[in-house]
Amino acid sequence: MSEKLERIKCLIIGSGPAGYTAAIYAARADMKPVVYTGMEPGGQLTTTTEVDNFPGYPEGIDGPKMMEDLQQQAERFGTEVRIGMVTKVEFSKEEGGVHKAQIDNKNWVEANTVIISTGATAKYLGLPSEQKLRGGGVSACAVCDGFFYKGQDVAIVGGGDTACEEATYLANICSKVTMLVRKGEMRASKAMLHRVEKTKNIDLRYFTEIDEVLGDQVVEGLRMVNNQTKEKEEIKITGLFIAIGHKPNTDIFKGLLTMDDAGYVITEGKSTKTNVPGVFASGDVQDSEYRQAVTAAGTGCMAALDSERYMAATDIIETNEPLVQAD
């Protein structure tokens, strides 16, 4: 069976604001970047409705539309965007060495520089009843799925900014939102907390966790437990939203790149350099703190500039080319 090999200057893994911004800069620097989109082309913002805090859009912008615009902007300067997953990587530890990435468990691409912008994925609680009902009323994205529960009672778990934002979003659509927070306080900002407290149809429960999600095929209710008194209570709901944070998408880089305990890639100082020469990380995959579209875009720009400087410093002069059509 023939296996196609190809050499490119700059491989960008991931197609969120970080990946596409890296692509815009790398393409303008004539690095002919190739973006592999991953499973969710456009990244997390494609599961958002209105983005109000990205500079330059005074009226806000629809998340998927913003990602389409970013893709077109990257393509305008010669970025090649390919639908596909990088399933395995082999990194050279040598300065100026060639890195390899396997696409969809098939063809390999060789690259002088790699920009990792694989983002992060929503976490779930891990309860068997929750896992069973994923897609049957359990969701990790209120703005994607909230609409299906219009006029119904739902619940949300989490005490961070995401949970607060999603709870108020759901409160506009649903008749009642029960919000479960496992501690006696929220991690969310005061502004977010106030917004939740002011919303009449949010029933805020502190020290409360899920004992079991009830229902066979679809969510029918929730058994909650107060973790102080151990008292249990059942409520009827049709939708359950999990908003307890994210996990960085770094599984294929384990053992190859230096990461923190949560699996976020560690970058050097103020740069996007990883511990491997020629491999850079940008966006949520290396940022457990800010995780904003605009900060991701900023680090995407930095990663492209770091890649360009690395190519210049290591005297790599290459053009993108198919290597061989090997048997």
Residues serving a catalytic function are: 141, 144-145
Q: Is 265 within 8 Å of 253 (Cβ atoms)?
A: yes
Q: How many residues bind ligand NDP (CB under 6 A)?
A: 15
- Toward ligand NDP, which CB reaches closer, 141 or 305? 141
Rounded CA gap, 125 and 309, in Å? Answer: 42
DSSP single-letter state for residue 109? E
28 versus 187: smaller Cβ distance to ligand NDP? 187
127 binds ligand NDP, rule: CB under 6 A: no
Among 40, 75, 161, 203, binds ligand NDP (CB under 6 A): 161
Shortest CB 26 distance to ligand NDP, Å: 27
258-317: contacts with ligand NDP (CB under 6 A) = 291
Run of H or E including 179:
strand 176-180
Distance of CA 240 to the CA centre of its chain: 21
Question: Cβ distance 89 to 99 under 8 Å?
Answer: yes
Cα distance between residue 28 and residue 285, in whole Å:
24
Fill in the amino acid letter for 131.
Q
CA proximity to 111, closest of 311, 254, 298: 311
114 touching ligand NDP, by CB under 6 A: no
Position among 5, 85, 98, 125 found at the interface with ligand NDP (CB under 6 A): 125
Query: Which range, of 76-84, 111-119, 159-167, 303-311, touches ligand NDP by CB under 6 A?
Result: 159-167
Q: Which of 78, 81, 80 is nearest to 27 (CA)?
A: 78
Taking the complex as a whole, the smallest distance from the CB of residue 303 to ligand NDP amounts, in Å, to: 21
Q: Give me the least distance between CB of 235 and ligand NDP, in Å please.
A: 17
Residue with tokens 């107060």: 226
Residue closer to ligand NDP, measured from CB, 64 or 245: 245
Candidates 106-114, 158-166, 171-179, 217-225; binding stretch for ligand NDP (CB under 6 A): 158-166
Residue nearest to ligand NDP (CB): 160
The gap between the terminal CA atoms of the chain, to the nearest Å, is 6
**48 is a contact residue toward ligand NDP (CB under 6 A):** no
Residues 180-239 that bind ligand NDP (CB under 6 A): 182-183, 187
Amino acid at 126: G
Task: Name which of 232, 44, 208, 212 is nearest 133 in CA terms.
Answer: 212
User: Which CB atom, from 134 or from 182, has the smaller least distance to ligand NDP?
Assistant: 182
Residues that bind ligand NDP (CB under 6 A): 125, 157-163, 165, 182-183, 187, 244-245, 291
